[in-house]
Amino acid sequence: MSEQQWIDIFINDDRDIQLDVAGMPGYTDDRATIAQDIKHMIMETGILVELIAERSREKWLANMNQLELMVEEDVRIVPGTVEIDQTETGVIYLTAETVMGPIQWPFSIDQINGVNND
């Protein structure tokens, strides 16, 4: 079994530290850590929030291109493999090839807004 290359505290969809039954922080590793880092980088840019009510297709495409380029700056991402697509239902998918294998992150407008649907 190979040693874990990247380890991080797991942050759940509510943007809180995920605790185990003993109240200790949960951890994530390798591809999941890369995906979590990319997710947080994208969320912190504020670009997705700008697009919530945006009607201009050109603005959407420009911002998605900007995000793809930002993601590709991460040294763990294989250049040229980042894709961001939006489905008809409003879910946006980010896919990329990392040095550890593929990642995919689906996110919705509610996640961008920080809405908890529980």
Does pLDDT of 106 surpass 60?
A: yes
Which pLDDT value is given to residue 95? 93
Convert the pLDDT of each residue in 75-105 to its tens digit: 999 999 999 888 877 788 899 999 999 999 8
Long-range contacts of 62-68 (CB under 8 A, 24+ apart): 67/42, 67/94
The Cα–Cα gap between 52 and 46 comes to 11
The Cα–Cα gap between 87 and 90 comes to 5
Residue 28: count of CB within 10 angstroms of its CB: 19
17 pLDDT band, cuts 50/70/90, is confident
Does pLDDT of 117 surpass 70?
A: no
Higher pLDDT among residues 74 and 24, named by residue: 74
The model carries a pTM of 0.74
